[in-house]
Amino acid sequence: MELDTLELSRLLTFITLGFHIIMATVGVGIPIFFSIAELIGIKKKDPHYILLAKRWTRGYVIVVAVGVVTGTIIGLQLSLLWPSFMQATGHLISLPLFLETFAFFFEAIFLGIYLYTWDRFKPIYHWLLSIPVILGASASAFFITTVNAFMNTPRGFEVEGEGLYTNVQPLLAMFNPATPSKVAHVLTTAYLTATFILGAIAAFYILRGKAHVYYKKALHLTMIGAFVFGMATIINGDFAGKFLAAYQPEKLAAAEWHFETEDRAKLIIGGILDEEEQEVRYAINIPFALSILAHNTPFEEVIGLNEFPEELWPPLYIHYFFNLMIFIGMYLVSVAGIYLLFYYLKRFNPLQRWLLYLIVWGGPLAILSIEAGWIMTEVGRQPWILRGFMTVGEGVTTNEHVYEMLILFSILYLMLAILLPVILIRLFKNKPAEKEIENHNIIL
């Protein structure tokens, strides 16, 4: 089947963002943990935590380098693949795009100083350098997320004539109704994903017989972070549900296969949909739960999909990505909670193999959850590129060479996907933590 320009452009954008979002998520999440590890090491005079900070920073630099490549490509593709959208809204989103670039440079400058001054500053002064890195990474996520939020709830302009956007107010466009819930969810899920990846690595080494206390401390620190940010993610998910009910009811209805407007609406988990009959089979139904998610009360009405023209319905398969995102989030919180329960009650060994395996699986599952959440968000906005004002078809390029771009960039992402883990594995395999500790290669 031959794909047209629109389908090819969507596919290329999907591949690029799907790859970049992993780098961006890890890039936003890791700094807070190497900062915490270093501070604990300084306060307790514990060389293991100092080494944790050092090694996590080394890996982080590699991920950031790859993230720069894919992030630059996204900026290029916005102009090449979606020129009508950029022409219409460029003066609205240029401010957060500029600030996102500034935040990245701010982070990069202090990351370079932080990385190369371990032995040159007093420990507490060196730790202070990690704060700008955290702020820069999180600010970068904040500003780029406001662009996505604007695409979901456009504000800050008036429309005159044929798509001419006037009376532009960039700050109002940035701080639109979607911004609070989206930014909060992006940040907490980034921290959650990063800490579970780090925890999964520690658990993997322990399973392989590396019983050194270094790995146990790494696991314990990351599981505390996973539980804290997992709970924060659940709370933000609740806020996001209420935002959808108020501002994007068609997306919430599509995600829950909710066709008729009704109160006491049930939450549907799993199942198979008969679209013609609008019937769901083999699903788990939780009474009142959708009304509670949308309005905090079981007696409030939830708007159904049939209230909207069918051509404006989001693809109904987002239901599965919505379910997957929620399931993995609950899994991560539960695993971290079980570990902490075992650790602090001291009645069970928190390093039991079955629990370590669950933690190891949590790393890739956390990444999968990020992908599922992104698909739910972006596909759930369809058919709009700018909700209510411009469809995806209206924003796409007329260039006939998108196929060549798709092949070229797909090869690039494949190479990066192979090289990144190879480089990270060789980086740490040639310099194991035990050897660094034995060589006393740590400054307190």
In DSSP terms, which residues pair with 270 in a beta bridge?
A: 283
Within a domain: 288: no
* pLDDT tens-digit readout, 49-75: 888 888 888 888 888 888 877 878 887
- Which tokens hold the place of 309? 């023209």
Within a domain: 443: no
Residue 199: is its pLDDT beyond 80? yes
Within a domain: 134: yes
Please state the domain count of the chain: 1
CA distance 338 to 331: 11
* pLDDT tens-digit readout, 210-224: 777 888 888 999 999
What's the domain range around 29?
5-261+303-438
In eight-state DSSP terms, residue 227 is H
Within a domain: 276: no
Residues belonging to the chain: 444
* pLDDT tens-digit readout, 293-351: 888 888 888 888 888 888 888 898 988 998 999 999 999 999 999 999 998 887 788 88
> What is the mean pLDDT of the segment spanning 83-96?
84
Within a domain: 444: no
Within a domain: 157: yes
Using 50, 70 and 90 to split pLDDT, how confident is the model at 261? confident
Contact 255, 322 (CB under 8 A): yes
Within a domain: 286: no
CA distance 205 to 222: 14
SS3 153: coil
What is the residue type of 405? M
Query: What pLDDT was estimated at residue 5?
Result: 82
* pLDDT tens-digit readout, 223-259: 999 999 999 998 888 888 888 888 888 998 888 888 8
In DSSP terms, which residues pair with 285 in a beta bridge?
A: 268
CA distance 362 to 55: 21
- H/E run at residue 411: helix 402-429
Within a domain: 344: yes
Q: What is the CA radius of gyration of the chain?
A: 23
Mean pLDDT of the chain: 85
